């Protein structure tokens, strides 16, 4: 029944042969994989203004275009670089594979760890910001923000478990809606040229004497730049998911990259430019886009539409991670650095375990940080730029090593990117260390360590399990064990008779074993046993503490020690099956406890014999299915 | 480690032979079993005043002695009657056994269901009221009342899991402290004769025109009487727990009953009498005892001591149920009307399952009713008086049937009790129906139905499993099955070799079974298998949906249908054991899923072969424990 419900919600399972049919075109793949990068427009300009306005006041709007320009340039460098990565690595994997291939494996693992953390943060940050956009429009929902955020994540999990293609359509639409809304805003905003009612834009806090009086320093501008770098997070996603595009996958992915860069350039550049006209002030109550939109259009239908598409896109941007994270983890798992369950495709052909892990971790973060975007963002950028930096250095090392046609030009692009992102990661690491980056800086080496341990374990297991082909032919599958069968029994009933018959048909060495929990309790059983015409011995052990499993394990242990090498003890557990689940709860089900206790016991095989009551040889049985 | 912690908290396990050592004397048994009845003084007078004051105002205090007198008389009748029950049933079981023995079994089950529900309510009501006493003294704790109540219940669970004797000492002390405090209050209150500052006693709400203007009707007095009957709940407990007293258990239990009646008479009678002097007004903010105590002593150390002992006793009164409920359920379980796990003594010799069930249900009620005593009390009395009534009628029937010496006198007492309690249960059932009694009136028949179903199930199973002694000697434990062994394998490794050796040493009919999850994936395995010098066939099945368990089950099913009667399929699951728990999580552990899927499959035995990696015949094995 549960699995029926699951199939209803998640869709019918898909055969492996349907795999290629689940890939997506550029038109639907782009919004799916680019929504993270595009949606960051909704908070990136805010972040720049948060860094500048409290320090230098009105002068901020003078520096906005410069800083935005550098970020757009960085975006272009990353785009060009990642197009080169797509070409070099059409199998997907992005920065992880680039670093692992061209640098040391450890760098690959650092990238893998960074990106894994960041995908989780992408979900948490985007969903928090999306929820904040909703609660900005409807302040009464503010107290329910954690619940709203969790609901959104659960819907994302379900959508993604349904499958790649459907999710790209479900989640692609909001990206286009947002793009359209922002373009309308930019065009209208520029046309009106700021000649509007600006009553909704907050004024500077005059009471703070230090406000806006600091000097413009390089450090301040770099801080603003690093804050604004939130805009370029998410560029990784397309490179990770290259194989998810329709064939020719690499070409489609590269087209998607150009379109992505163009979309971010238009929206981020446009909003940054509008902010120089409308002078929005960073505020926890109202986002920059919301301030500009309400100034340009007033609080009417267009304003609410812009807010709605922004909120929707932010929530959907989290979906980028649902496409990228499971794919990345499946690649890491195939390399043996993550549990191999993450490399298994689920009923709907996606990496369902990865989807579930991502969703649950993000929900955990939302609960811990109470859905507060500003608390989450400092954790966010360190990992992204760590992986960017290592990817760039990896590509640089590749060009220097391979020296293909035009390698100087390519190396220059990656070199510039490497230096810029390295500076950025250092600035972010230092500046945001105390406000949360330390968590990630601690977590990444920890994850790398765990990954290394996992790999070591798989290697050691594989080495010990492996049989070289040349040994196969001289290996015998035949052996002669001395089998001992122990049948734990509670009383002498029809079940025991069947179990004994099964046991004796395998080996003559059968022992019935009973635990006496109260003194004298076993007398009746002993007397009944004597009535039987059998040479099977009945062993009775006292249990002063009324435990069943303990004395049995002790007996097995003593049996095992007494036995010679080559002996094999099999514990046979007769288990009767009742037709209704609730009826099972009425029985002690000792056999389950015994099976668990003996599960990892060396040289002890646990066998469970299920019997249906109506098959028993005694009583009102319907058929006598027992050979004599 | 977890079990070590548990032993630390709960004490070392006790041997069955230590059972009698865990019984309690009258001095410690009385406060343990009587705390429910005695503590009800803390809210019974309030309940009477709640019924009277809003209707007839000052006139209430005129009627208090009359109503309290009837309740005390009822208490005496119940005490005398229950002493007779103790004599007739020294094995314990109280009303349940009385009704089952002397009336129809169904009436016994009704009593069992009523008492079970009431024990749970006792815990919920007492702990809620105790928490309310705490939060009355410290209003800032009010918002934490659910947490406080749950903490108290958890402490009760732990205390009771530790064991009978220890819990009687832990929990007996507050009863004596409360008795001392209340006697001090009564003596001082009578001596001061009301000549004190009464500013803390609330005045009547004069704004309500209807207040205190109704006529005194029989119905009103019966309503007040039925509300006050909360004072006599808990009388059952001693009769239920007779065997827990030191020998001579029945005599000790009867002494305890006399002492109980005396204690309730003094405290309930005393507080009722004080209320005619001090005219307390029922209030949600301050209890009657608290009003009187603050008037007599002022808000000083004595007042707080009385509040503290009251709160402590109320919380500890819940403990009555922890003594009675598991014992009652164990008796019902021994009769086969409840899951038999409830009749098993735990490590500390108490009925640990019953203790856990009671605690968890009470926590559930606390959460649902948010720890509000007034919402819980209407659910409370119906069940108590249902069981009282049936016990009285049961005793009446017994005297009428057996006619022992002095049976007329005994029958008269029980007859009066039966009529009074029957009237009370009808009044409570009608009056409090809408405010919560309906839940219990619905629940009791439901529980009786479930109990009957459980009994039917046990009967049917026992009947089907049972072998009459005269059949034992002609029953053969020998049989010849055609064994088929199926070994599911993922690859050809050292584990598989060992499994095959085990399998072949039992029967020549062995099949290796592999599920191909991706097309072509099994080719390597097939080639390796051909290198082996064996006649064991390798069966490969396609799995288009990448499931492992499904195709195996299908194969087993097809095997089963093809086989003749008397064939037995054994599925052999090689499972390798890694030393650390977290390493198990790195593997698919498919064998666990297979074992679960085949658990209830007819004629299919599931055998798990655990192997430690170092025991494998190939690789860096430490010892070659494999016979050739």
Tell if the CB–CB gap between B604 and A610 is shorter than 8 Å: yes
Give the pLDDT score at B9: 67
Listed residues A393, A428, A459: the one ending a domain: A459
Tell if the CB–CB gap between B536 and A17 is shorter than 8 Å: no
Give the pLDDT score at A212: 62
Listed residues A398, A428, A459: the one ending a domain: A459
Residues 6+ apart with CB under 8 A from A325: A115, A116, A119, A120, A354, A355, A357, A358
Distance, C-alpha B272 to centroid of its chain: 33
Tell if the CB–CB gap between B16 and A613 is shorter than 8 Å: no
Residue B475 lies in a domain: no
B604-612, strands of its sheet edge to edge: A538-542, A510-516, A482-488, A567-577, A604-612, B604-612, B567-577, B482-488, B510-516, B538-542
CA nearest to A623 within chain B? B565
Residue A361 has pLDDT above 60, yes or no: yes
Query: Which of A117, A619, A628, A146 minimizes the C-alpha distance to B461?
Result: A619
Same domain for A548 and A451: no
Give the pLDDT score at B2: 58
Cβ contacts of A610 on chain B, cutoff 8 Å: 599-602, 604-605
Q: What is the Cα Rg of chain B in Å?
A: 33
Angstrom distance (rounded) from CA A402 to CA A505: 69
Angstrom distance (rounded) from CA B280 to CA B363: 32
Nearest to B472 among A466, A532, A625 (CB): A532
Gap from A3 CA to chain B (nearest CA, Å): 13
Nearest to B16 among A546, A586, A625 (CB): A546
Query: Which of A547, A531, A466, A532 minimizes the C-alpha distance to A500?
Result: A532
Tell if the CB–CB gap between A613 and B464 is shorter than 8 Å: yes
Give the pLDDT score at A618: 47
Q: Which ranges of A541-607 does DSSP label H, i.e. alpha helix?
A: 549-562, 581-584, 590-598
Angstrom distance (rounded) from CA B595 to CA B549: 9
Nearest to B479 among A454, A614, A626 (CB): A626
Tell if the CB–CB gap between A546 and B505 is shorter than 8 Å: no
CA nearest to B525 within chain A? A469
Q: Are A315 and A129 in contact (CB under 8 A)?
A: no
Angstrom distance (rounded) from CA B556 to CA B486: 8
Residue A114's domain is classified under what CATH number? 1.20.1740.10
Cβ contacts of B461 on chain A, cutoff 8 Å: 576, 578, 613
Residue A466 lies in a domain: no
Cβ contacts of B344 on chain A, cutoff 8 Å: 546, 588
Same domain for B520 and B446: no
Crossing angle (nearest 10°) for helices A301-334 and A26-39: 110
Cβ contacts of B586 on chain A, cutoff 8 Å: 339-340, 454, 457-458
Tell if the CB–CB gap between A467 and B497 is shorter than 8 Å: yes
Same domain for A590 and A449: no
Determine the residue among B7, B335, B474, B475 to mutate to test chain A binding: the one whose Cβ has the most chain A Cβ atoms within 10 Å: B475
For residue range A122-179, list pLDDT tens digits in order.
899 899 888 888 877 777 787 888 899 999 999 889 888 876 555 567 667 888 999 9
Tell if the CB–CB gap between B599 and A612 is shorter than 8 Å: no
Residue A12 lies in a domain: no
Same domain for B582 and B446: no
Tell if the CB–CB gap between B532 and A475 is shorter than 8 Å: yes
Same domain for A123 and A228: yes
Give the pLDDT score at B166: 53
Same domain for B569 and B490: yes
Angstrom distance (rounded) from CA A421 to CA A413: 12
Angstrom distance (rounded) from CA A93 to CA A325: 10
For residue range A556-594, list pLDDT tens digits in order.
888 765 666 667 889 998 887 877 767 777 777 778 788
For A522, A525, A538, B608, the CA distances from A490, given in Å and listed in that order, are 9, 9, 12, 22
Give the pLDDT score at B628: 37
Q: Are B589 and B554 in contact (CB under 8 A)?
A: no
Would you say the pTM of this structure is higher than 0.95? no
Phi and psi dihedrals of A567, rounded to 5?
-75, 150
Tell if the CB–CB gap between B619 and A517 is shorter than 8 Å: no
Angstrom distance (rounded) from CA A417 to CA A391: 10
Query: Which of A152, A163, A151 minimizes the C-alpha distance to A10?
Result: A163
Angstrom distance (rounded) from CA A410 to CA A396: 8
Residue A628 has pLDDT above 50, yes or no: no
For residue range B148-176, list pLDDT tens digits in order.
999 999 988 988 887 655 556 666 788 89
Residue B521's domain is classified under what CATH number? 3.40.50
Same domain for A488 and A455: no
**What is the mean pLDDT of the segment spanning A407-424?**
86
Q: What DSSP element (H or E) covers A612?
A: strand A604-612
Q: 10 Å Cβ neighbour count for B124?
A: 30
Tell if the CB–CB gap between B494 and A467 is shorter than 8 Å: yes
A390 or A166, higher pLDDT = A390
Query: Which of B114, B144, B123, B159 minimizes the C-alpha distance to B362?
Result: B123
Cβ contacts of A504 on chain B, cutoff 8 Å: 477-479
Beta bridge partners of B512: B487, B538
A1 or B154, higher pLDDT = B154
Q: What is the Cα Rg of chain A in Å?
A: 33
Q: Where do we find the tokens 């639907």?
A: A28
Give the model's confidence band at A207: pLDDT under 50 very low, under 70 low, under 90 confident, else very high: very low
Query: Which of A456, A449, A396 minimizes the C-alpha distance to A420?
Result: A396
Listed residues B459, B493, B523: the one ending a domain: B459
Tell if the CB–CB gap between B464 and A585 is shorter than 8 Å: no
Domain count, chain B: 2
Tell if the CB–CB gap between A586 and B457 is shorter than 8 Å: yes
Tell if the CB–CB gap between B340 and A587 is shorter than 8 Å: yes
Residue B487: domain span = 482-615
Q: Where do we find the tokens 């397309």?
A: A238
Taking every pair of C-alpha atoms in chain A, what is the biggest distance, in angstroms?
107
Tell if the CB–CB gap between A472 and B457 is shorter than 8 Å: no
DSSP symbol at B235? T
Angstrom distance (rounded) from CA A87 to CA B411: 99
Residue A86 lies in a domain: yes
Residue A288 lies in a domain: yes
CA nearest to B619 within chain A? A464
Tell if the CB–CB gap between B518 and A16 is shorter than 8 Å: yes
Q: Are A597 and A553 in contact (CB under 8 A)?
A: yes
Tell if the CB–CB gap between B461 and A578 is shorter than 8 Å: yes
Q: 10 Å Cβ neighbour count for A219?
A: 10
Give the model's confidence band at A448: pLDDT under 50 very low, under 70 low, under 90 confident, else very high: very high
Share of chain A above pLDDT 90, in %: 21
Crossing angle (nearest 10°) for helices B41-56 and B60-88: 140
Residue A517 lies in a domain: yes
Cβ contacts of B347 on chain A, cutoff 8 Å: 545
Cβ contacts of B458 on chain A, cutoff 8 Å: 586
Q: How many CB pairs under 8 A join A and B?
A: 267
Gap from A482 CA to chain B (nearest CA, Å): 9
Angstrom distance (rounded) from CA B85 to CA B71: 20
Gap from B19 CA to chain A (nearest CA, Å): 11
For residue range A233-253, list pLDDT tens digits in order.
888 778 877 888 888 889 999
For A326, A556, A583, the CA distances from A568, given in Å and listed in that order, are 44, 11, 34
Same domain for A434 and A516: no
Gap from B38 CA to chain A (nearest CA, Å): 36
Beta bridge partners of A606: A571, B608
Same domain for A527 and A445: no
Residue A11 lies in a domain: no
Same domain for A57 and A164: yes
For chain B, residues with pLDDT lower than 70 are: 1-22, 93, 163-171, 200, 203-213, 284-285, 347-349, 560-566, 614-628
Tell if the CB–CB gap between B464 and A604 is shorter than 8 Å: no
Gap from B505 CA to chain A (nearest CA, Å): 5
Strands B604-612 and A604-612: antiparallel
What is the average pLDDT value for chain A, to the nearest integer? Answer: 83
DSSP symbol at B245? B
Distance, C-alpha A552 to centroid of its chain: 43
Least confident of A19-33, A241-255, A389-403, B158-172: B158-172
Determine the residue among B341, B477, B480, B527 to mutate to test chain A binding: the one whose Cβ has the most chain A Cβ atoms within 10 Å: B477
Same domain for A213 and A278: yes
Same domain for A161 and A89: yes
Tell if the CB–CB gap between B501 and A494 is shorter than 8 Å: no
Gap from B66 CA to chain A (nearest CA, Å): 50
For residue range A300-328, list pLDDT tens digits in order.
888 888 889 988 888 778 887 887 788 88
Angstrom distance (rounded) from CA B517 to CA B530: 21
Residue B467 lies in a domain: no
ipTM of the complex, rounded to two decimals = 0.73
Give the model's confidence band at A393: pLDDT under 50 very low, under 70 low, under 90 confident, else very high: very high
Give the 3-state DSSP-derived string for A206-226, with helices as H, strands as E and coil as C: CCCCCCCCCCCCHHHHHHHHH
């Amino acid at each position: 029944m549960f699995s029926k419900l699951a199939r209803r919600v998640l869709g019918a399972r898909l055969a492996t042969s349907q795999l290629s049919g689940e890939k997506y075109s550029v038109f639907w793949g782009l919004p799916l994989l680019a929504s993270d990068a595009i949606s960051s427009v909704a908070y990136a300009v805010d972040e720049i203004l948060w860094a500048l306005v409290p320090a230098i006041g009105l002068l901020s709007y003078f520096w906005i275009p410069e800083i935005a320009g550098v970020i757009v340039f960085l975006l272009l460098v990353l785009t060009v670089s990642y197009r080169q990565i797509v070409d070099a690595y059409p199998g997907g994997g992005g920065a992880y594979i680039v670093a692992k291939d061209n640098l040391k494996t450890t760098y690959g693992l650092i990238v893998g760890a960074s990106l894994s953390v960041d995908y989780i943060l992408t979900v948490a940050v985007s969903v928090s910001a999306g929820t904040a956009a909703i609660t900005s429009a409807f302040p009464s929902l503010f107290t329910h923000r954690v619940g709203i955020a969790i609901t959104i994540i659960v819907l994302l999990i379900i959508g993604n478990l349904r499958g790649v293609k459907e999710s790209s359509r479900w989640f692609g639409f909001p990206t286009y809606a947002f793009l359209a809304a922002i373009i309308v805003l930019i065009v209208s905003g520029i046309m009106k040229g700021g000649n509007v009612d600006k009553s909704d834009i907050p004024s500077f806090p005059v009471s703070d004497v230090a406000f806006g009086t600091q000097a413009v320093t390089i450090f301040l501008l770099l801080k603003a730049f690093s804050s604004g770098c939130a805009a370029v997070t998410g560029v990784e996603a397309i490179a990770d998911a290259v194989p998810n595009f329709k064939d020719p996958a690499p070409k489609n992915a590269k087209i998607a990259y150009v379109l992505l860069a163009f979309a971010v350039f238009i929206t981020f550049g446009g909003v940054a430019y509008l902010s120089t006209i409308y002078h929005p002030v960073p505020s926890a109550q109202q986002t920059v886009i919301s301030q500009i939109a309400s100034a340009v259009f007033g609080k009417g239908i267009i304003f609410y539409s812009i807010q709605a598409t922004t909120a929707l896109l932010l929530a959907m941007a989290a979906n980028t991670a649902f496409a990228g994270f499971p794919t990345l983890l499946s690649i890491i798992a195939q390399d043996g650095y993550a549990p191999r369950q993450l490399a298994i495709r689920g009923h709907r052909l996606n990496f369902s375990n990865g989807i579930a892990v991502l969703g649950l971790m993000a929900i955990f973060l939302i609960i811990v940080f109470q859905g507060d975007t500003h608390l989450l963002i400092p954790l966010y950028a360190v990992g992204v730029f760590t992986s960017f930096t290592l990817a760039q250095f990896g590509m640089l090392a590749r060009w220097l090593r391979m020296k293909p046609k035009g390698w100087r030009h390519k190396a220059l692009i990656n070199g510039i990117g490497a230096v810029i992102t390295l500076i950025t990661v250092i600035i972010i690491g230092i500046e945001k260390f105390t406000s949360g980056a330390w968590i990630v800086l601690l977590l990444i080496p920890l994850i790398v360590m765990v990954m290394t341990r996992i790999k070591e374990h798989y290697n050691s297991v594989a080495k010990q399990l492996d049989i070289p082909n040349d040994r196969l032919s001289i290996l015998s599958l035949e052996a002669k064990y001395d089998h001992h069968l122990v049948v734990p029994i509670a009383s002498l009933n029809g079940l025991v008779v069947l179990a004994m018959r099964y046991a004796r048909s395998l080996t003559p060495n059968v022992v019935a074993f009973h635990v006496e929990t109260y003194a004298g309790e076993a007398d009746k059983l002993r007397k009944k046993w004597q009535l039987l015409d059998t040479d099977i011995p009945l062993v009775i052990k006292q249990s002063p503490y009324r435990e069943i499993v303990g004395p049995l394990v002790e007996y097995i242990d003593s049996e095992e020690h007494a036995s010679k090498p080559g002996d094999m003890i099999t514990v046979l557990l007769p288990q009767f099956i009742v037709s209704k689940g609730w009826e099972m709860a009425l029985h002690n089900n000792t056999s389950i406890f015994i099976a668990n206790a003996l599960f990892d016991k060396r040289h002890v095989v646990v066998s469970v014999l299920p019997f249906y009551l109506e098959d028993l040889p005694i009583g009102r049985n319907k058929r006598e299915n027992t050979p004599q």
